[in-house]
């Protein structure tokens, strides 16, 4: 069960971060503050979301083995 919870938390963190980064990217592009190569659903957004998901997965509760 803890593995399922950890995976669920990591997936939720990935989705939430991707949505947040896409919204931030769209806002920067509308204000003409971002570089021309910045695009929605690009490498920066997926990379950032993967980093956050990995951090969430590592911080998930771990069940210790019973002796």
Predicted confidence (pLDDT) per residue in 20-38, tens digit: 988 988 898 888 887 766 7
In a domain? residue 65: no
Q: Is residue 16 over pLDDT 60? A: yes
pTM for this model (two decimals): 0.73
Share the mean pLDDT of the chain: 81
First-residue to last-residue Cα distance in the chain: 19
Contact yes or no for 38/29 (Cβ under 8 A): yes
Query: Between these two residues, 39 and 46, which has the higher pLDDT value?
Result: 46
The total number of structural domains in the chain stands at 1
In a domain, 8, yes or no: yes
Cα separation values, 54 from 19, 47, 63, Å: 17, 11, 18
For residue 26, the enclosing domain spans 2-58
Confidence of residue 62 (pLDDT cuts 50, 70, 90): low
Per the model's pLDDT, the better-predicted residue between 40 and 26 turns out to be 26
Does residue 36 belong to any structural domain of this protein?
A: yes
Residue 63 lies in a domain: no
């Amino acid at each position: 069960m803890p593995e399922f919870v950890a995976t669920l938390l990591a997936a939720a963190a990935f989705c939430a971060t991707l949505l947040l980064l896409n919204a931030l990217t769209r806002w920067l592009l509308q204000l003409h503050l971002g570089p021309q190569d910045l695009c929605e659903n690009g490498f920066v957004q997926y990379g950032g979301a993967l980093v956050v998901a990995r951090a969430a997965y590592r911080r998930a509760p771990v069940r210790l083995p019973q002796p």
